[in-house]
Amino acid sequence: MKRLLTLILCAVLLVSCGNKQDAPVKVAKEFLTCFFSSDFEGAKTYAAPELLQLLNDSKSLLDSLSGEEHQKVIDYLSAIQVDIETPEKIKGDTLQLSYSVVFSKFTGTGKSSVSLRKEGRKWLVYALE
């Protein structure tokens, strides 16, 4: 029984440690996926306070559209793919990641960057460029 409990504890520790390199990339991908698919409430869970107004304004703009326009935007944005360049090494508590968004209904890709900072043990997106 002690062995089983020790094994479970070790497994939990290994899972909770994870790969720290992946953490900001996952946060950036989740934020951008939510943002570009108009899930502004979902994006807020990954956003620093300075982005909350942008998310609220984006939601208000989308909500102000007519039903047909709103649905066209949602349909257009539902077919996106976000690709983020993974850094070789993370140094410090801030990080800028390059990303591209591929819209299946639009040819070409746009390249931009997202800035994150570590607050406590959590990475948050604080700027889009």
Q: Give 30-94 as a 3 state SS string.
A: HHHHHHHCCCHHHHHCCECHHHHHHHHHHHHHHHCCCHHHHHHHHHHHCCEEEEECCCCCCCCCE
pLDDT of residue 50: 95
Q: Are strands 94-103 and 122-128 parallel, antiparallel or unpaired?
A: unpaired
Phi-psi region of 41 (alpha: psi -120 to 50; beta: other; left: phi over 0): alpha
Q: What percent of the chain has pLDDT over 90?
A: 50
Domain range for 57 is 21-128
Domain contains 3: no
Is residue 30 in a domain? yes
In a domain, 107, yes or no: yes
Task: Tell me the pLDDT tens digit for each residue of 54-98.
Answer: 999 999 999 999 989 988 888 877 777 888 988 878 888 999 999
CATH, residue 65 = 3.10.450.50
With respect to residue 89, please indicate whether it lies within any of the assigned structural domains.
yes
pTM confidence score:
0.76
Q: Dump pLDDT digits (tens) for 21-36.
A: 569 999 999 999 999 8
Domain assignment present for residue 83? The answer is yes
Could you give the number of structural domains in the chain?
Answer: 1
Which has more confidence, 102 or 25?
A: 25
- pLDDT tens digits, one per residue of 46-57: 999 999 999 999
